[in-house]
Amino acid sequence: MNADSKTLDKGPVTETRRRVPGRFSRTMNDPDSKWWRFVRPVGMIAIFLTTWGLAVRLSQTDLFPGPGSVARAIVELIEKGLLAKYVIASLFRVTWGFALAVLVGVPFGLILGWYTRAFQAFNPLIQIFRPISPIAWIPVAILWFGISDLAPIFLIFLASVFPICVSTIAAVQNLQPVYLRAAQNFGLGQWELFHRVVFPASVPQIITGLRIALGIAWLVVVAAEMIAVNSGLGYLIIDARNAGKRYDLVVAGMVMIGLIGLVLDLLIRQLTKLDSVRWGYSK
């Protein structure tokens, strides 16, 4: 009954596999087993780290750090108790900026997607504001919100709200007409139609928009923390720059941002595994 997706993308039948003897022979011979799914990316990262280290050593650069000094810098941050503080600060700002973007962007997108006249009125404005980089908004943010957490939260909100709004509008506009017809057939009123049919049918695409927006929000955190806040991973990078030759701290900040970005994406991808949402993504 269920199409087994695993069997669809195995290699050609004549693929020869080396027999690994021993207890784990079965998992290691199956190229799609959990073991290999773990080893492949980890192996790639190991290759990357080695290349980086070699490149630094061979070029004998005085300034750019190798993976070793970056690791030591991370340890230094942990010892000083700063790593936890900075990670919490950045996560706090991204949480609130993103949450506000969802609370504003999704309902607004649903309304604009459903009411053509509202869409005609607002869409050009949205398309005008969307391409303006959050960095350009920094002076405005300081003027309106001063030097506090509100300014970076505002910038992160700006960066996230447009992709969310646009995806939601597209989701509603691309709604299959057959769902609407069936729902009307069952005698659903406008409000029921909206919350029992339009919204659930749009959720997969909305979640795609959320994934993109979260990535952007986390990306913008460095720019957003350029304003004189005194904590956060973005601040760490800017401050390390001012501290002189601490490029190891700069890269340590980048590494932490990257790792947390990976975790955030994995988390939001869990949303796509919900039964009431899974149908929206092709296998």
Partner 1 sequence: MTSRRIILIALCWVIAISLLHATYNLHLFTPRDHTARTRFRIGFLPVTCHLTCPVTDFINKKIYGESIFEPIRFNGWPELKEAYLSNYTPATFILAPMAIALREQGVPIKVLYLGHRDGSAVMVHKDSTIRSMQDLRGKRIAVPNRFSNQRLLIFRALQQAGMTVNDLELVEMAPPDMPAALYAKAVDAISSGEPFMAQTELDGYGRVLWLTKDVWPNFISCVLAVHEDMIKHNRPAVQRLVDGIASSGKWLDQSMSHRMESAQFVSKYYYNQDPRLLSFVLSKPPDRVKYTNLALHRHDFEEIEQLGRASGILKGTAHFEDYTDTSFVRDDSAVQAYAWEPAK
Partner 2 sequence: MNTAVAVQELAMSFRGKRRNERIEVLREINATVKTGEFVCIVGPSGCGKSTLLNIIGGFVEATTGEVLVEGSPVVGPDPRRIFVFQENGVFPWLNVTENIAFGVRGKSKAECHENVRRYIDMVGLTGFETAYPHELSGGMRQRVEIARALAANPDIIYMDEPFGALDFITRLKMRADLIRIWQSERKTILFVTHDIEEAVQLADRIFVMTKRPGTIQKIVPINLPRPRNLDAPEYLRARDEIFQLMGMSLQVGI
Interacting residues with partner 2 (CB under 8 A) = 1-2, 176, 178-179, 181-182, 184-187, 197, 200-201, 203, 275-280
Say which entry of partner 1, partner 2, none residue 231 contacts (CB below 5 to 8 A, set by partner kind): partner 1
What is the nearest approach in angstroms of partner 2 to the Cβ of residue 198? 11
Contact yes or no for 227/141 (Cβ under 8 A): yes
Say which entry of partner 1, partner 2, none residue 156 contacts (CB below 5 to 8 A, set by partner kind): none
Site for partner 1, rule CB under 8 A: 62-63, 84-85, 88-89, 91-92, 95-96, 99, 138-139, 142-143, 146-147, 149, 226-228, 230-231, 238-239, 241-245, 247, 270-271, 273-274, 276
Nearer to partner 1, 3 or 143 (CB): 143
Residue 26, C-beta contacts closer than 8 angstroms, at least 6 positions apart: none
Token digits of residue 105:
């962007």
What is the nearest approach in angstroms of partner 2 to the Cβ of residue 183? 8
Contact yes or no for 155/220 (Cβ under 8 A): yes
What is the nearest approach in angstroms of partner 2 to the Cβ of residue 268? 19
Say which entry of partner 1, partner 2, none residue 238 contacts (CB below 5 to 8 A, set by partner kind): partner 1
Gyration radius (Cα) of the chain, Å? 24
Tokens 């990257």 identify what position?
Answer: 258
Say which entry of partner 2, partner 1, none residue 7 contacts (CB below 5 to 8 A, set by partner kind): none
Token digits of residue 100:
């506000």
Dihedral sign (CA 224, 230, 234, 238)? positive
Contact yes or no for 141/154 (Cβ under 8 A): yes
What is the nearest approach in angstroms of partner 1 to the Cβ of residue 63? 6
Nearer to partner 2, 80 or 273 (CB): 273
| Closest to 209 in 3D by CA, of 270, 151, 153, 163 | 163
Nearer to partner 2, 197 or 217 (CB): 197
What is the nearest approach in angstroms of partner 2 to the Cβ of residue 280? 7
Classify residue 6 by its DSSP letter: G
Token digits of residue 161:
């709200």
Tokens 């939260």 identify what position?
Answer: 153
What is the nearest approach in angstroms of partner 2 to the Cβ of residue 106? 16
CA gap 183, 247 in Å, rounded: 60
Say which entry of partner 1, partner 2, none residue 59 contacts (CB below 5 to 8 A, set by partner kind): none
